[in-house]
Amino acid sequence: MSNLSRRKLITTGLAATAGASGLAVAANLAHRYGLIPPDHGGIYGAGETLTYGAQRLLTRHSLAREFPRSQISTKPVANGETPQDEAFKRLHAGGFTDWRLAIDGLVARPASFSLAELKSYPSRSQITHLACEEGWSFIAEWIGVPLSHVLTVVGILPKARYVVYSSMQRGWWDSVDMADALHPQTLLTYGMNGGELPVGHGGPLRLRVPRQLGYKNVKYINRLTVTDSLKGFGKGLGSASPEYGYAWYAGI
Amino acid sequence: MADPALVRSPADVFPAITNTARHTAFVRITHWITTLCFFALLVSGIEIVISHPRFYWGETGNVFTHALFQLPIPASRSSVLTGYGYVLPDQNGWSRYLHFQAAWIAVLTGLLYLGWGWLTRHFRKNLLPGRADVSRRALSIEIANHLRFKPPGEAEAWSYNALQRLTYLFVIFVLFPLVIWTGLAMSPAIASAFPAAVTVFGGQQSARTIHFFVSVFLLLFLLVHIVMIFLAGFRNRMRAMITGRAVKHMEHA
């Protein structure tokens, strides 16, 4: 009897140790391969980590579907309000000639770019789906320079893990991991449906991340910061969205 | 020595009733985990739908396009015209977090259940109806009995009837996989990795519309399931699914 319970105790102990170390190894691996989202804490953290981790494993290099020109929505929905502050209105009135995109953080050559400079880089156009987390969607042609190209120009350092982007719209900022930042379809978008990007759709510059939902595609961006950690930004949850209760990762 | 009259077995006290094993622990645990997930998915799903109660067919759909139909409910966004003079508060943030967390728990539980059910031949033994029970005649009798709200016979305290078996199989192998699939088809990242999973439905908006209808069917199943439990004897059916044991009335056996 005492032998049996001792054996049981040893087996249980070994199983518990194996389980705990297994979890620790899994957590370590998941962290190293970037499978843990910044909003992994709290009661929904487990589900969020599973979603982000699983989608990263399945979709790291996948390309968003591109559609024929005939499928472009005739009336794209411009959701939300345009910035109402004087600084933005002045830039708008001046045709955004005084507007600049600043890039700093873990880059070899911090720089800022005018709209004309961004347009001088090789452009890419894509006809992709933009879906809002509410359920509606539209298809449009988006024209811009791949974020990866601009990141190459400034030279990202090997430690880089995220790119934080901030908007001229007060309170809006977000971030993507390097899988999305370096993805060929992630565009610093300045054109739409053959013309300029309308202010209602985020002009002068919107980050298009076509493998994520609308709210990740922040409008009016004017600053990019390359970083190895999101801890110093806002509440450390990766973007303004989790501070309003929305998930950082919007691939679903 | 004790008075023999005081030493009475439960069988003496309740001579007509015995207590018999009904559901295995695995079935009971997965059943209740799924129940909890179902309610979480239902509540959060309703909240998400409220933000845009319009449905479409094809790849795209929005307030500027033709809707297949619109639910006659108020919305949590002012962009949707509902005819109600007010806008409900936005609940999408936590609803989306909860929806996906509950979906993960439900899917992982479902996979364990499928593996277990296959290994223990649970599906073949307990859910696949006998050939004789699915003849047109047998099924018509079964359906007629259900429509007349005839209380189930004693045999149904330990075994499902054919209609019940077919319904459970349909829910487990058709509705649940379809609701998971159409849910995933709405994900832009999944659509990028597995485009055929979306195009087979005709587009992401079609997937959303089908997701809604499958959810309605699952909700109908739940409502009928609860009504049937009350008709069959709430205490005994709940006891069977909680403790695993059902009481058997010997005189009907």
Tens-place pLDDT, residues B131-162: 888 899 998 998 898 888 887 877 777 789 89
> Which amino acid, A15?
A
Look at residue B155 in the predicted model and tell me its pLDDT. 78
Q: Is residue B227 part of a domain?
A: yes
B6 within some domain: no
For chain A, the C-alpha Rg in angstroms (whole number) is: 22
* Neighbour count for residue A133 (Cβ, 10 Å): 22
CB A201 within 8 A of CB A73: no
B22 vs B233: CA distance, rounded Å: 15
Low-confidence residues of chain A: pLDDT under 70: 1-4
Distance of CA A203 to the CA centre of its chain: 18
Please state the rounded mean pLDDT for residues B111-116: 97
> pLDDT: is B46 or B160 the higher one?
B46
Counting one residue from chain A and one from chain B, the pairs whose CB atoms sit within 8 A come to 127
Angle at A46 between CA A40 and CA A52, to 5 degrees: 65
> What is the count of structural domains for chain B?
1
Mutation site for A-interface testing, chosen from B62, B71, B88, B107 by largest number of A Cβ within 10 Å:
B62
Indicate yes or no: CB of B60 within 8 angstroms of CB of A138: yes
Q: Is residue B167 part of a domain?
A: yes
Token pair for A169: 């719209």
- pLDDT band at B251; cut points 50, 70, 90: very low
Q: Region B208-226: what's the mean pLDDT?
A: 97
At B219-250, the pLDDT tens digits run: 999 999 999 999 888 998 999 999 998 877 64
Q: Are A116 and A237 in contact (CB under 8 A)?
A: no
Mean pLDDT is lowest, of A43-52, B19-28, B39-48, for B19-28
Per the structure block, which two tokens stand in for B209? 């519309």
Residues of B in contact with A55 (CB under 8 A): 187, 189-190
Interface check A8 vs B, CB under 8 A: no
A233 CB-near residues (< 8 Å, 6+ apart): A164, A173, A175, A225, A227
Domains of chain A from N-terminus onward: 65-243 (3.90.420.10)
**Scanning the structure block, which residue is given the tokens 């929904």?**
A44
Closest CA to B175 of B57, B34, B51: B34
Nearest residue of A to residue B64 by CA position? A75
Report yes or no on B89 lying in a domain.
yes
The CA-based angle A233-A61-B92, given to 5 degrees, is 50
Interface of A with B in 110-139 (CB under 8 A): 129, 131-139
Q: Which residues of B touch A183 (CB under 8 A)?
A: none
Q: Which residue has the tokens 């009475």?
A: B8
ipTM given for this complex: 0.91
The boundaries of the domain holding residue B130 are 15-252
B5 — pLDDT class (breaks 50, 70, 90): very low
The Cα–Cα gap between B216 and B197 comes to 21
Q: Which pTM does this prediction carry?
A: 0.90
pLDDT at residue number B249: 61
Q: CB–CB of A252 and B186 under 8 A?
A: yes
Give the model confidence (pLDDT) of B50-65 as tens digits: 999 999 999 999 999 9
Q: Do the Cβ atoms of A245 and B198 come within 8 Å? A: no
Burial B196-227 (b: 16+ CB within 10 A, else e): ebbbebebbbbbbbbbbebbeebeebeeeeee
Q: For residue B15, what pLDDT band results from cuts at 50, 70 and 90?
A: very low
As a whole number of angstroms, the distance between CA B204 and CA B192 comes to 12
- Residue B8 located in a structural domain: no
User: Using the beta-carbon criterion (under 8 Å), do B62 and A65 form an inter-chain contact?
Assistant: no
pLDDT given for residue B20 in this prediction: 78
Q: Which residues contact B225 (CB under 8 A, 6 or more apart)?
A: none
A22 vs B197, higher pLDDT: B197
- Contact at CB, A246 and B96, closer than 8 angstroms: yes
| A76: preceding bond cis by omega (within 30 degrees) | no
Structural domain contains residue B22 = yes
B101 → closest Cβ in A44, A129, A244: A44
Q: What is the mean pLDDT of residues B116-131?
A: 93
Query: Quick one: what percent of chain B has pLDDT higher than 70?
Result: 91
Within a domain: residue B53?
yes
- Is residue B16 predicted with pLDDT exceeding 90? no
User: What residues of chain A lie within 8 A of the CB of B60, using their CB?
Assistant: 71, 73, 129, 137-139
List the beta bridge partners of residue A138: A130
In a domain, B4, yes or no: no
Q: Any idea what the CATH number is for the domain that residue B175 is in?
A: 1.20.950.20
pLDDT recorded at residue B12: 46
